[in-house]
């Protein structure tokens, strides 16, 4: 079972983003582990499972848009039009 | 908190003997899991006293006739009945405070008719809006009732609570979208209520308008079983910009200006205050990287035909830009809006005073507040939470929203989100929480608002102020309750309605 391999459960080095958050994967934020020391402790997690959860969330949000409508209008496009006036 | 003893076993046996032949043995449940899992709703409650709210049995009827049978049996034995739909409400409507029989309606989840010509559908109340819309979407329709519990709440609960919808500024709320429904009264008779006698009418002037009476009663006036709903064309397009502001006051002006712009596709606008931004900076991937200059947020949403959404969206963007807002970009805007349909999936944890993460349940106190009163209510509510948090390190202030209830910016669903470490609650902490809820409700009334725009107001604390809010209308509520439910079997203990049965001597 791949999830038992240590290297898959060893995340990349953390980069401090704010005083309460770190990042190990691009655009994926975690609570600073120092804040999860007393009441809730962090679990060992396979890297691929972290990324799978993040991607699943993205899939879910895309599904929700399609559920409600056909097209999502871009605010960036509208703002560019306004700025060009 | 009133504690009711469980029914004697011989009474439970008698109830089962009367119910099982009609509902089927497998639909009359007495197991511990069946009963304990239907003892609470997502809102925090005193976990240490869970056992005091466990029903004596659970039934799963499949038809209006079966529901009526259950109600008649309950009257015969003077046993409480509690309707339960999705169990997602935030004011304890589905909590069996007096035990008795929980009527779980989830088997009544059929789509009986889709009327493509008139644009209606008729469903059992056990169906969920998301699942219904998966079917309606194939026909180019949508039923746009959109609570934060959209994937898990049910039509019947929306009727019982008179639900509030995220896109209600465009399409209306549950009371506007439910055209008519079959209702089993507390004595077992069945009526159909809607506008007049027709089941598919949006406006009638015939007779008393009873539909509103039988919506939002939190299960105290009967059980809806089958409903006819108003459908809309499925929108071609959606627009959901999120903007950052450097101060609350400017964001406040924006959330007032957006609905007043008169954009026909406008479906809602939300103001997130400084406390909410601080909360999002802790845990929300969209806001953790935001600069410290961001002090408040506003979002707007529009639905409709693409050309109309684009034209209206341009106007909304101009309003925000002219007020100095910074657009947060398509990725954050689209992702955050999509997530709002499904807030019950939010990971729930908060912070103790020293910043440590602790498991916390989400609760929100809500109110209906006029636009001009929003800033003052915000300050008063946070003050209440600050005192509570200082005294008990099991509460966390997760900030406030103000959300348009309509399309003119008149009044706003106003919420303060509170993290509660349920496992650490004891009687003292719970009593302090109830006191805080009462104070929060009192602030709403002092500012000319209503205790609730969305959830209902029958939980401990705020319920004490309902007579003050409604005045003489509350006395009419008592008379109606006693007239329709002479044995006080239908969800007793809610809204203080027990006082309808008090005699001079008692």
Q: Tell me the domain boundaries of chain A.
A: 2-84
CB within 8 Å of chain A, chain B residues 278-337: 281-283, 285, 288-289, 303, 306, 309-310, 313-314, 317-318, 321, 327, 329-330, 333-335
CATH code of the domain covering residue B410: 3.30.300.330
Q: In this predicted structure, what is the pLDDT of residue A2?
A: 55
Give the residue numbers spanning the domain of B449: 349-465
Residues pairing with B402 in the sheet: B271, B414
Residue finishing a domain among B63, B82, B104? B104
B359 and B339, same structural domain? no
A vs B, Cβ pairs < 8 A, gives: 114
Q: Which one of A73, A79, A84 makes the best mutation probe of the B interface by having the most chain B beta carbons within 10 Å?
A: A73
Query: Could you say which of A67, A71, A82 has the minimum Cβ distance to residue B237?
Result: A71
Q: What is the pTM of this model?
A: 0.95
The β-bridge relationship of strands B395-404 and B266-272 is antiparallel
- What does the pLDDT read at residue B1? 64
A5: distance to nearest CA of chain B, Å? 28
Same domain assignment for residues B241 and B146: no
The answer as to whether B479 is a domain residue is yes
Report pLDDT for B227: 98
Where residue B334 sits, what CATH number does that domain have?
Answer: 3.30.70.3450
Q: Are B341 and B312 within one domain?
A: yes
User: CB-based contacts of B30: which residues, under 8 Å, 6+ apart?
Assistant: B12, B16, B56, B57, B58
For B301, the token pair is: 């949403």
Among partner residues B281, B330, B359, which is closest to A75 by beta-carbon distance? B330
> Is residue B68 situated within a structural domain?
yes
User: Do B132 and B160 fall within a single domain?
Assistant: yes
Supply the pLDDT for residue A36: 95
For chain B, the residue count is: 506
Residues, chain A: 85
Answer positive or negative: Cα dihedral of B145, B150, B151, B153. Answer: negative
Do B461 and B477 fall into the same domain?
Answer: no
**What is each CA distance from B247 to B20, B243, B288, B373, in whole angstroms?**
61, 12, 18, 17
The answer to whether residue B3 is domain-embedded is: no
pLDDT the model gives residue B503: 78
Look at the block and give the residue holding tokens 């004891």: B426
| B356/A18 CB distance under 8 A | no
Q: Domain total for chain B?
A: 5
Could you list the mean pLDDT of each consecutive 10-residue stretch along chain A, which spans 85 residues? Answer: 71 94 93 95 88 92 95 98 93
- Two tokens at B268? 């809602």
| Segment 264-283 of chain B within 8 Å of chain A by CB | 281-283
Decide if B441 is inside a domain.
Answer: yes
Is B134 found in the same domain as B65? no
First to last CA, chain A: 59
In terms of DSSP H, where are the helices of B184-329? 248-260, 274-283, 306-322
Q: What does the longest C-alpha to C-alpha distance in chain B come to?
A: 71
First and final C-alpha spacing in chain B: 19
Task: Identify which of B352, B3, B118, B257 has the alpha carbon closest to the alpha carbon of residue A38.
Answer: B352
The residues of A whose Cβ lies within 8 A of any Cβ of B are 17-18, 20-21, 27-29, 31, 35-40, 58, 60-62, 64-65, 67-76, 78-79, 81-82
- Which parts of chain B register pLDDT below 50? none
Contacts of A35 in chain B (CB under 8 A): 351, 355-357
Question: What pLDDT was estimated at residue B316?
Answer: 98
B144 assigned to some structural domain: yes
Together in a domain, B92 and B146: no
Helix axes B129-136, A47-68, angle to 10 degrees: 60
Residue A4 has what pLDDT?
65
pLDDT, residue B482, reads 98
Cβ atoms B147, B167 nearer than 8 A: no
Which residues of chain A make contact with B358, given a CB cutoff of 8 A? 38-40
Is residue B51 one of the residues assigned to a domain? yes
* CA distances to B79, B81, B144, B188 from B136, in Å: 39, 33, 11, 33
Q: Quick check: helix, strand or coil at residue B461? A: coil
CB contact B233 to A (< 8 Å): no
Is the ipTM, as predicted for this complex, more than 0.85? yes
CATH number for the domain that contains residue B56: 3.30.43.10
């Amino acid at each position: 079972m791949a999830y038992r391999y240590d290297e898959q459960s060893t995340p990349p080095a953390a980069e401090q983003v704010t005083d309460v958050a770190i990042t190990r994967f691009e655009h994926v934020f975690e609570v600073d582990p120092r804040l999860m020391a007393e009441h809730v402790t962090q679990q060992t997690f396979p890297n691929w499972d972290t990324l799978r959860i993040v991607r699943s969330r993205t899939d879910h949000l895309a599904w929700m848009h399609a559920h409600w409508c056909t097209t999502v209008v871009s605010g960036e496009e509208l703002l560019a039009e306004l700025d060009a006036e | 908190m009133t504690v009711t003893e469980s029914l004697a076993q011989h009474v439970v046996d008698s109830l089962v003997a009367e119910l099982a032949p009609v509902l089927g043995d497998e639909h009359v449940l007495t197991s511990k899991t069946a009963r304990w899992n239907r003892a609470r709703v997502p809102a925090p409650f005193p976990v240490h006293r869970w056992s005091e709210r466990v029903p004596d049995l659970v039934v799963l009827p499949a038809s209006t006739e079966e529901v009526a049978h259950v109600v008649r049996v309950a009257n015969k034995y003077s046993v409480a009945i509690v309707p339960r739909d999705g169990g997602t409400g935030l004011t304890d409507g589905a909590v069996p405070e007096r035990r008795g029989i929980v009527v779980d309606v989830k088997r009544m989840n059929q789509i009986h008719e889709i009327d493509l010509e008139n644009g209606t559908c008729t469903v059992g109340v056990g169906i969920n809006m998301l699942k219904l819309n998966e079917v309606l979407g194939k026909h180019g329709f949508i039923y746009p009732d959109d609570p934060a519990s959209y994937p898990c709440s049910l039509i019947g609960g929306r009727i019982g609570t008179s639900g509030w919808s995220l896109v209600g500024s465009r399409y209306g709320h549950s009371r506007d979208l439910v055209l008519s429904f079959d209702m089993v009264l507390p004595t077992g008779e069945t009526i159909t209520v809607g506008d007049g006698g027709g089941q598919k009418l949006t406006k009638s002037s015939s007779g008393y308008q009873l539909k509103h009476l039988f919506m939002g009663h939190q299960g105290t006036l009967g059980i809806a079983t089958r409903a006819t709903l108003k459908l809309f064309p499925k929108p071609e397009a959606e627009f959901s910009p999120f903007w950052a502001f450097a101060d609350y006051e400017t964001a406040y002006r924006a959330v007032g200006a957006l609905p007043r712009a008169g954009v026909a596709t406008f479906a809602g606008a939300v103001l997130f205050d400084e406390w909410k931004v601080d909360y999002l900076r802790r845990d929300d991937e969209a806001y953790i990287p935001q600069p410290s200059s961001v002090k408040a947020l506003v979002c707007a949403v529009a639905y409709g035909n693409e050309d109309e959404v684009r034209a209206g969206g341009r106007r909304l963007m101009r309003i925000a830009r002219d007020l100095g807002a910074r657009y947060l970009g398509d990725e954050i805007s689209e992702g955050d809006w999509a997530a709002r349909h499904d807030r019950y999936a939010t990971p729930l944890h908060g912070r103790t005073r020293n910043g440590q993460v602790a498991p916390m349940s989400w609760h929100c106190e809500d109110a209906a507040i006029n636009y001009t009163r929003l800033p003052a209510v915000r300050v008063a509510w946070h003050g209440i939470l600050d005192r509570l948090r200082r005294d008990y390190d099991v509460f966390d202030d997760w900030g406030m929203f103000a959300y348009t209830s309509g399309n003119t910016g008149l009044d706003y669903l106003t919420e303060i989100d509170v993290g509660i470490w349920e496992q650490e609650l004891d009687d003292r902490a719970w009593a302090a929480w109830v006191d805080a809820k009462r104070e929060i409700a009192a602030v709403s009334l002092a500012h000319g608002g209503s205790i609730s725009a969305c959830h209902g107001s029958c939980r401990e604390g705020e319920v004490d102020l309902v007579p003050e809010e409604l005045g003489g209308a509350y006395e009419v509520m008592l008379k109606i309750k006693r007239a329709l439910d002479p044995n006080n079997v239908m969800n007793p203990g809610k809204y203080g309605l027990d006082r309808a049965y008090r005699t001079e001597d008692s």
